[in-house]
Amino acid sequence: MKANNLNIGYSLTEKGFNVKIDSHKYKVSYPLAAWNSFPAKMKRRIVNNFVFLSTFTLPVLLNKRKIYYDFNSPLLASFFIKPVLYYMPACADEYNKDTLTILRKFINSSYDFKSYSLKSFDYVPKVRNKSIILFTFGKDSMLSYAIAEEIGINPTGVYMEESDFEYYDTFAKVSEKTYENIHKAALIKKFNKEFNKRIISVKNDLGKIKNSDHFGIKGVEMPWASQLTEFSLLALPLNHYFKARYLIFGNEASCSASYMNKEGIKTNPVFDQSSEWVVEISKMLKLITSKISTLSLIEPIHEIAIIKILHQRYPQYAKYQMSCTASSKSARYSMYCHSCSKCARIFIFLKANKIDPATVGYKKDMLAKEYKKLYSVFGMIKDTPFGYDAAGLGRDEMLLAFYLAYKNGEKGYLIDLFRKKFLKQVEKRKRSLMKEFFGIHESITIPKQLRKKVVKIYEEELLKK
């Protein structure tokens, strides 16, 4: 192969499949029983589409011109383009480039396949009123799990384990490592034991290719554009094994929020998680299976309300909340790194709801002066891996959270700073802010037969003082 090309193929294994990108190999593995239960013809057809989806943006990241795929052209290839296109403006902002430069690289990329003969999925699984939940121990998946259990769609949690990796922190100017999987392995063991549940792990080593550090470069990380769509394909053997009708994502109302970037382009940093795209993923799964569909039970509410409901109604699960990717040395022995914008955001949301952050693992007071740079209300955040925070999209929700924490009697440098800079403006807007962030909004992903039960839970909890 020419130096400016990539060669990609895969092979099925006893417990999943291996992917080869040039000389590099990546393993994806399932629990043996689940993988063995999946029809043999479906294994190749799902893996075929998954591998293409996971890799077809690599030319943008690696400055390549062409990929040769050693398998059939995937049936869903054209479907995968939209989330990539809609992610480009956010990437352009994150990497200080213009969208056209990224688009040009993407369109100039070309793809060849071993064969162009197409085969339909021809697959109709048996399903029951059960669900698979993409489970991370974050507040969103924890609340989704608890609600699914309460409304009777028997959930099984599935953790898509993408390998911990080493990277260079441009903000701190040091080499770092992630410790997320170490903490979550301990949580899974403890959770399963306490509740006699079964949280299952699918090991996706191919997830490494989303990070430019894996290749020893600094590039535009376009492979992040389609993570949720990838997970929906990876989950299908579990849906099949457990006969689950639903695949549940933990995407709250803010996942559909957007802003106008400097180029005048509507920009959603997490378009792949938006309600609009969840509906499209559901269409994709219906085309593949005719029966399985996706939804988000928390689509109608915001983060601050999610925390309130989770800790108020389901304290037995809330204590397991881990809302950090544990991406620094400080997170080696703590579930929270205390050095990222997500840690800061969740900290103030907990305080706003009168919840002690120590109960979920925080070990530092993130209202101290040194954490000012992590809160979007006090200025733009640079070098954060969370595009939502970098864009300042959650600024109003965070202003309300600081206001409620202040009214709760919280003390600290950042509370004082909030009082001086923003208290009067928030008091004028309090009514509209409360309506927005503790309100129940429309949903387009929750089926009618489930929506009434879900909304009833939210109404009961959000009306409590």
Residue range 262-303, pLDDT digits in tens: 999 999 999 999 999 999 999 999 999 999 999 999 999 999
Residue 281 lies in a domain: yes
Mean pLDDT of the chain: 93
Q: What does the pLDDT average to over 379-399?
A: 74
Helix H segments across 109-179?
Answer: 139-150
Buried b / exposed e along 192-227 (16+ C-beta atoms within 10 A): eeeeeeebbbbbbbbbbbbbbbbeeeeebbbbbbbb
407: pLDDT strictly greater than 90: yes
Residue 453, in any domain of the structure? no
- Is 50 exceeded by the pLDDT of residue 226? yes
The pLDDT assigned to 172 comes to 46
pLDDT > 70? residue 380: no
Mean pLDDT over residues 176-202, rounded? Answer: 89
Q: What is the pLDDT at residue 63?
A: 94
The pLDDT of residue 382: 62
Among 15-24, 288-297, 331-340, which stretch is predicted with the lowest mean pLDDT? Answer: 331-340
Co-location of 330 and 214 in the same domain = no
> pLDDT category, 200, cuts 50, 70, 90?
very high
**Around 167, how many Cα atoms within 13 Å sit in the side-chain half-sphere?**
23
Q: Is the pLDDT of residue 411 over 80?
A: yes
- pLDDT one-digit tens code per residue, 311-328: 999 999 999 999 988 777
Written as six digits, the tokens of 302 are 């915001």
pLDDT over 70 percentage in the chain = 94
Residues 407 and 309 in one domain: yes
Shared domain for 213 and 327, answered yes or no, is no
Average pLDDT over residues 434-459: 97
In this structure, the answer to whether residues 277 and 379 fall within a common structural domain is: no
Q: What is the average per-residue pLDDT within 248-257? A: 96
In this prediction, residue 174 carries a pLDDT of 47
Condensed to tens digits (0 to 9), the pLDDT of residues 54-68 reads: 999 999 999 999 999
Alpha-helical regions (H) of 269-328: 275-289, 303-313, 315-318
Token duo for residue 458: 């939210």
First to last CA, the chain: 65
Residues 307 and 291 grouped into a single domain: no
pLDDT at 42 over 80: yes
* Residue 360: pLDDT band with limits 50, 70, 90: very high
Instruction: Specify the pLDDT at position 61.
Output: 96
Q: Is the pTM of this model over 0.85?
A: yes
Q: What is the mean pLDDT of residues 351-357?
A: 98
- Nearest-angstrom CA–CA distance, 281 and 300: 18
Return the pLDDT at 246.
Answer: 98
- Asked whether residue 281 falls in the same domain as residue 346, the answer is no
- Pick from 2-6, 74-78, 390-394 the range whose average pLDDT is largest: 74-78
On whether both 256 and 373 belong to a single domain, the answer is: no
Same domain assignment for residues 273 and 355: no
Same domain flag for 204 and 238: yes
Do 313 and 242 share a domain, yes or no? no
The number of folded domains in the chain is: 2
Report the share of the chain in percent with pLDDT over 90: 84
Report the pLDDT value the prediction gives residue 160, as an integer from 0 to 100. 96
pLDDT score of 384 = 59
**319's tokens:** 């204590």
Strand arrangement of the beta sheet that strand 24-29 belongs to: 110-115, 66-72, 5-12, 16-21, 24-29, 200-204, 155-162, 128-134, 244-248, 293-295
Kindly report, residue by residue over 149-187, the tens digit of the pLDDT.
999 999 999 999 997 665 544 444 444 557 888 899 999
Look at residue 176 and tell me if it is in a domain. Answer: yes
In a domain, 13, yes or no: yes
Domain annotation covers residue 446: no
Q: Are 265 and 271 in contact (CB under 8 A)?
A: no
pLDDT confidence band for 148 (50 / 70 / 90): very high
**Residue 455 within any structural domain of the chain:** no
Q: Are residues 131 and 94 in the same domain?
A: yes
Q: Is residue 317 part of a domain?
A: yes
Asked whether residue 352 falls in the same domain as residue 370, the answer is yes
Alpha-carbon distance of 461 to 197, in angstroms, equals 25
pLDDT at res. 1: 43
The residue range of the domain holding 228 is: 5-295
Rg (CA), the chain: 22
Residue 54 lies in a domain: yes
